[in-house]
Every structure is written in structure tokens, then in C-alpha cells.
Structure 1
Amino acid sequence: MRGLAGRGALVSGGTSGIGLATARRLAEEGCRVYITGHDADGLASALTELSGLGEVTGQVCDVSDHDAAQRMVEDADTACGGLSILANNAGISWREPFVDIGIDSWDRIIAVDLRGMFSVGQAMARLLIRAGRGGSIVNMASTNALGGEEDYAHYNAAKGGVLQLTKSMAVELGKHGIRVNALCPGYIDTPLNQSIAANLPEGFVQKYADEQIPLRRVGTPEDVAAAYAFLASDDAAFISGAVLTVDGGQVAVM
């Protein structure tokens, strides 16, 4: 894609699943990539996997720690020789009925999935404005932001907040040449979803895809990584404030 080669790219939550696929895709496009993850073993494994693709470095960071997240962005800028791309990807989720959600559970989801998005995004915006260069920020939302999936009230609320945060960022940062967009993946074949599917009846996932997804398959991390790369590239130079669903057409089903 146009305009990616030679750029510095930060991928938060870049050690597995969609984040790892995105780091790989951006590295393959010629970006200097910096990834973060929440544990040292996962980070080391990801860096080893990506080691043959060019300049890829990273650090352990809990994005729910506002000060740590802001320092991490500065570290990434230094390591990459200047950032211009943020794949704001770090997030967590788990199933929990609304009436059973404890306040600690609620706070943790919001802290990582919404406040973490704010902390990293704000640091990136400040950096780009200070440097006097434009850039692209792509926030990870979810189709859960577009409808209330059962037993995910905390996650649904956080991702809904990400969409409004994205629009606010796009409005305020456009004058600085900073584009801000959001991705809403549907069912993606990530390690987390694979672990859930292992406890479901054989054939359940394909049956779900056949009945709920017009393209009759679940998504791959690479599908989402391609969308990240597109929105970060010059091919999307006039796209900002947009919400791109990557779901095989699922949200179009009535």
C-alpha cells in the first residue's frame, strides 16, 4: 500500500492475534514497528517471530497505567526514529452476565479497552503535534460497539466509547493533519476465540458462520491487519472519523 515504507508504527497489544498479524503486515510493508504486550514471555515470542521482517522492537506495557502508556509512546518514537502510525489495538474481554459483573471486573475492562485507548492515543497525538507532522491513528473497536451482545455489557460499553472517542479525536486532530479512524471486527479466529471454540460442539463455529455471516466464514487476524494497513496508508489519505467493519457482512444481517 502507498506510503507505508519507512514509517514508524506503534502496535499496542501487538504480541498475539490481531495485533501480531498487524505488526507483521506493517513490517512487511516496510514500516519500522514497535509492539507492546502485557507480559515478557509473550513479547519475547512475538519479537522472535517478527525478527526476520526488518526493524521490530517493543516493550512490556500495561496501557491501563496512564503514565506508563504515555512514556511507552515516547520510547516507541525514539526506537522507530519517529512515529507516524498508531494501531491502537490493546484490549481484553471475557463473558460475564450483566447482573454478575463486579465493579472490579467492570473497571478493568474500561481501564484497558477505553482508558488505555485514550492514554495511548493522547500521547501519540501530542507527539505528532509537537513534531509538526501528520499521521494516522486507528483505534480498535468491535461490532460489539454496534449492538449489545449478551453477557458482554462491560466490553460493549467500552467499545461503544471507543467509537465516540474516535470521532472526537478525528474532529479535533484533523487540523494537525492527523487522521483517526476505528475498526469494528466481527468474529475473528484469534487464539482467544479458538480457546472458547474448543469447548463448543464440533462444527459450531462453521454453523454459526453459515447462519450469521454472509461470506460464510469467520475472519482471520490477517483480514483485520489488512484493514489496519489500509487506513494507515496514503490510500486512505482522505478518510478520517470513519468506522470500518471487518465482519464478512454480519452487521448487515437483519
Structure 2
Amino acid sequence: MNRFEGKVVLITGAGRGIGRAIAERFADEGASLALLSNVEADLNEAASELAAKGTIVQSLVVDVSDAEQVERAVSAVAERFGRIDVLVNNAGIAWEEPVLEIKPDNWKKIIDVNLNGMFWVAQSVAKRMAAQGGGVILNMASTNGLVGEANYAHYNASKGGVVLLTKTMALELGVSGIRVNAVCPGYIQTPMSAAIDSPEFIENYIKTKIPLGRVGKPEDISGVFAFLASDDAAFITGETIVVDGGQLAF
């Protein structure tokens, strides 16, 4: 399928994990890509591989928690391509930390990237989309934004904020032809999760929490983003789509 031929898709956190899988999916369906990440080596590798397959790619090193950096990057993308049709607002960080031990700097770091950064990117892109007559904004939330999980108070709070940010933006931006939705993955095996969880933890998690009997893969998420960005989802906005192998069905 070439559902996104002639479309420009901006993806944050695009260097690895779910963000990279999403970039590959949109490239496979014909999109031109603007890839943003704060990890230059990962970003360059992703951009090179996609460009080698014939995808038009722009890559920019950006710290999404810095509103001025975000505005400069989005402006550069708009100048290069003339428009932004889809935003995949994916950049995020996480680590385990008991609520009684969270230091102010650690709380601030996660909120700055996962919530504030998501807002800065969405706001900057939405201004361009409103001026061009519409677009699609897809925010990366989490099942942790819908239910609690011990040792992730800062992460859970940030993702809960993303869910309500998504709904509020959908209410305000619909009149400008902009659809805004969030995707809430469950346990997806990525470099970030691998740095946190042991094989024993993962095995027990599957047995006790996931009815489908496996953890998710980035490719399980990328197709959902492609669907929500497509015309097949033209009447979907303000929603949080859960992709968790049945975990929240318990």
C-alpha cells in the first residue's frame, strides 16, 4: 500500500525502538519523513537506512524538552517540505524508582520529556497544520497512563497527562481539521525496556498479565499508528487506543 505517498510525517524519538519501527512503516507506505531524536548516532543510522531504500528523509537532533529547539526544528521541517501532514509524537523516557525515593531532578526530567516535550512538539506542529487546513497528531501514551504501576509514579503521571492532553487538543483542534489520538501500548520489548527488566521479570510478566502469552513488538504498534494516520480513521479523534495483548482485560 502507498497510503501516505505525497504525505510528510514528522516522528520524534525516531532513532530506535517503537519510533524507528513507526518510521519504517510509514516509509514502506510511501511517506516522506522528518526524523527527530536527541541521540545523534541512532538518528543517523535510521535516516541512512531509510534513505538507502529510497525514502526522502530529513533528520534533526532535538531535545524535545526545550521549546526553542522544538520550534526551530519544526520550522526547518516545514521549510523543507512545505507542510506536515502527520505528527507521531513518540519521544519518551522511563526508569524504575520508588515514589518515596524520587528526587526533584528525576521527577522534572521525566515530566519535561514525556509531557512538556510532547506539548511543545504538538503545539508547534498544530499551528502549521491549522494554517494548511488540517492534519493528524498521534501521541504516544501508555497503559501506564490509564492504570497505575508501582515504581513508575513519574512515568505514570506523565503518560496520564498525555491522555488528557490528547483529548483536550482533539476538542479544540477538530474545527481546524486536525485529528488527535493517543496510542497506549502495554509491554513492548524495546531497548528501553531491556535496560530495565530482567529475563525472569519478563517471563513472569507474560505468565501473569498478558492473555496472548507474549510481550509486544514495535511492529505491533507501528501498524496502529499507520491506521490512525490514514483515511480509514477519518472519523476517529480524541481516542486512546490500547494495544496490550489483553492485559487491561483482567
* TM-score > 0.5 by shorter chain: yes
Q: Runs of 4+ in structure 1 displaced over 4 angstroms? A: none
Aligned counterpart, 1:29: 29
Q: Do the aligned residues in 2 keep the contact of 1:2 with 1:234 (CA within 8 Å)? A: no
SS of residue in 2 equivalent to 1:111: helix
Aligned counterpart, 2:103: 102
- Residue 216 in 1 paired to residue 217 in 2? no
Which consecutive residues of structure 2, in runs of 5 or more, have no partner in the other structure?
none
Alignment-mate amino acid for residue 166 of structure 2 = T
% of aligned pairs identical?
49
SS of residue in 2 equivalent to 1:83: coil
Aligned counterpart, 2:58: 57
Cα distance in structure 2, aligned partners of 1:156 and 1:80: 35
Aligned counterpart, 2:71: 70
Cα distance in structure 2, aligned partners of 1:192 and 1:24: 19
Alignment-mate amino acid for residue 8 of structure 1 = V
Cα distance in structure 1, aligned partners of 2:245 and 2:202: 14
Aligned counterpart, 1:160: 160
Alignment-mate amino acid for residue 234 of structure 1 = D
Aligned counterpart, 2:124: 123
Cα distance in structure 2, aligned partners of 1:106 and 1:190: 22
Cα distance in structure 2, aligned partners of 1:146 and 1:32: 33
Task: Provide, for residues 196-251 of structure 1, a one-character-per-residue CA deviation record: whole Å limited to 9, x for no partner.
Answer: 34x443xx423421321111111110111111111111110000001001111111
Aligned counterpart, 2:179: 179
Cα distance in structure 1, aligned partners of 2:115 and 2:193: 21
Q: CA deviation at 1:19?
A: 0.3
- Residue 15 in 1 paired to residue 12 in 2? no
Q: Do the aligned residues in 1 keep the contact of 2:2 with 2:29 (CA within 8 Å)? A: no
Aligned counterpart, 1:169: 169
- Relative to the length of structure 1, the TM-score reads 0.94
Q: CA deviation at 1:24?
A: 0.6
Q: Do the aligned residues in 2 keep the contact of 1:186 with 1:219 (CA within 8 Å)? A: yes
- Residue 230 in 1 paired to residue 231 in 2? no
Q: CA deviation at 1:2?
A: 7.2
Q: CA deviation at 1:149?
A: 0.6
Which consecutive residues of structure 1, in runs of 5 or more, have no partner in the other structure?
none
Q: CA deviation at 1:139?
A: 0.4
Q: Do the aligned residues in 2 keep the contact of 1:8 with 1:77 (CA within 8 Å)? A: no
Alignment-mate amino acid for residue 170 of structure 1 = A
The alignment covers a number of residue pairs equal to: 249
Task: Provide closer, same or farther for how the CA distance between residues 223 and 80 of structure 1 changes in structure 2, counting only shifts above 3 A.
Answer: farther
